[in-house]
């Protein structure tokens, strides 16, 4: 039990009541469990700088409530009276939920989004069968597809596959290929094409939006608008997305240069040099040790390396969670 976490004035009432509240909270979140021994009155006094009589009053209050029991010559313990364990177990669960809510609130999630995420995990945990949901994500950019697959990895009982749009349009039987998936996620730019290929199965489609992540934009915004920027890509679609993001935020098109990943080696230099390198998370400049010295060289000169990460927007995430949950509950 970390006594230094006690903050006088955090709750209302006399000091001994505040101390009792602190001990109760420690039990609620599982820091103290039935049968655990509390620090001695002398330890509370020494570490918190409060009178021993105040500690004794707090212990006495909790003893009256049946929360603490005193053993002569041994000290005070958290009660393990039958019936209390279940209540404290619920208290610990409540504490965990409160902590989760705080994390979700920091991420900017709305109460509705929090409820949907909790409902998804509850449904996945208590679905009677071993049913799983299969997702396919179809898009023109391999770089973006991998970002989206990683982002959806938190979903329980969901198996996700990714397909480049061209591999679908050139497949002998696109409808059969995608038809075996429960849901098919497609960005707006590819939606009409995939919908026509799926025919009657188009009801499986979810149109998604996947802009650059907040962290990616934060790093881009921090750059000087006259900075010379290099882009490493695998697809024209990814290149266009990065360039479009840069130009729309005031960067000069003439200062933007690019190489396809296969053409960019440790001997490759951008004409005139660059101030920032932008690429995707799985690029060889991150994965291969051969590029380490090049990356360090750029950073030592004051340059920046930015991972351009695409994230599903909140509306898309909620739609996916809702559809997945419905499929799990249906089975």
- Give the fold, CATH level 3, of 129-210+314-330: Rossmann fold (3.40.50)
- Look at domain 3-88 and name its CATH class: mainly alpha
Quick one: tokens of 19? 């101390």
- Alpha-carbon distance of 205 to 320, in angstroms, equals 10
- For the chain, the domains span 3-88, 129-210+314-330, 214-307
Q: Contact, 63 vs 24, CB < 8 A? A: no
- Alpha-carbon distance of 307 to 283, in angstroms, equals 9
Quick one: tokens of 272? 């005139």
Q: HSE on the CB side for 112, CA within 13 Å?
A: 6
> Exposed (0-12), middle (13-18) or buried (19+): which is 161, by Cβ within 10 Å?
middle
CATH classification of 214-307, choosing from 1.10.3470, 1.20.120, 3.40.50, 3.30.70?
A: 3.40.50
State the pLDDT at residue 100: 84
Taking only the tens of pLDDT, the chain with its 331 residues reads 667 677 666 666 788 888 888 888 887 777 888 888 888 888 888 888 889 999 998 898 888 777 888 887 788 888 875 555 555 556 666 767 887 888 888 888 888 888 888 888 887 777 656 788 999 999 999 999 999 999 999 888 899 999 999 999 999 999 889 989 999 999 999 999 999 988 877 789 999 999 999 899 999 999 999 999 999 999 999 999 999 999 999 999 999 999 999 999 988 989 889 999 999 999 999 888 899 998 999 999 999 999 999 999 989 999 999 999 889 888 5
Quick one: tokens of 75? 């000290």
Instruction: Please write down the HEC assignment for all residues of 171-186.
Output: CCCHHHHHHCCCEEEE
State the pLDDT at residue 65: 73
Instruction: Please write down the HEC assignment for all residues of the chain.
Output: CCHHHCCCCCCCCCHHHHHHHHHHHHHHCCCCCCCCECCCHHHHHHHHCCCHHHHHHHHHHHHHCCCEEEECCCEEEECCCCCHHHHHHHHHHHHHHHHHHHHHHHCCCCHHHHHHHHHHHHHHHHCCCCCCEEEEEEECCHHHHHHHHHHHHHCCCEEEEEEEHHHHHCCCCHHHHHHCCCEEEEEHHHHHHHHHHHHHHHHHEEEECCCECHHHHHHHHCCCCCCCEEEEECCHHHHHHHHHHHHHCCCCHHHEEEEEHHHCCCCCCCCCCCCEEEECCCCHHHHCHHHHHHHHHHHHCCCEEEECCECCCHHHHHHHHHHHHHHHHHC
State the pLDDT at residue 105: 87
CA distances for 78 relative to 2, 11, 47, 54, 87, angstroms? 16, 22, 20, 19, 13
CA distances for 266 relative to 221, 274, 307, angstroms? 28, 15, 18
129-210+314-330 and 214-307 agree in CATH topology: yes
State the pLDDT at residue 79: 81
């Amino acid at each position: 039990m970390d006594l230094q976490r006690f903050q006088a004035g955090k709750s209302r009432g006399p000091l001994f009541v505040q101390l009792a509240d602190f001990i109760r909270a420690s039990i609620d979140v599982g820091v103290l469990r039935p049968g655990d021994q509390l620090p001695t009155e002398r330890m509370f006094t020494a570490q918190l700088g409060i009178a021993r009589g105040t500690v004794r009053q707090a212990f006495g209050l909790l003893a009256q409530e049946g929360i603490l029991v005193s053993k002569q010559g041994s000290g005070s313990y958290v009660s393990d009276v039958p019936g209390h364990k279940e209540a404290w177990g619920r208290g610990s669960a409540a504490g965990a939920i409160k902590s989760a809510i705080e994390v979700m609130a920091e991420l900017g999630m709305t109460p509705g989004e929090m409820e949907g995420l909790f409902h998804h995990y509850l449904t996945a945990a208590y679905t009677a069968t071993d049913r799983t949901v299969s997702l396919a994500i179809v898009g023109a950019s391999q770089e973006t597809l991998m970002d989206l697959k990683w982002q959806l990895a938190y979903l329980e009982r969901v198996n996700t596959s990714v397909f480049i749009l061209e591999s679908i349009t050139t497949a002998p039987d696109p409808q059969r290929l995608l038809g075996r998936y429960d849901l098919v996620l497609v960005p707006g730019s590819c939606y009409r094409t995939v919908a026509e290929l799926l025919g009657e199965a188009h009801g499986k489609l979810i149109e998604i939006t996947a802009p650059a992540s907040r962290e990616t934009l934060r790093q881009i915004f921090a750059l000087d608008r006259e900075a010379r920027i290099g882009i490493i890509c695998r697809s024209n679609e990814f290149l266009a997305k990065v360039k479009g993001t840069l130009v729309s935020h005031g960067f000069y098109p003439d200062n933007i240069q690019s190489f396809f990943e296969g053409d960019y080696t440790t001997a490759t230099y951008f004409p005139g040099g660059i101030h920032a390198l932008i690429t995707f998370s799985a690029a060889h400049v991150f994965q291969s040790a051969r590029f380490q010295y090049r990356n360090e060289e750029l950073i030592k000169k004051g340059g920046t390396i930015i991972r351009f990460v695409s994230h599903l927007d909140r509306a898309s995430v909620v739609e996916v969670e809702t559809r997945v949950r419905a499929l799990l509950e249906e089975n």
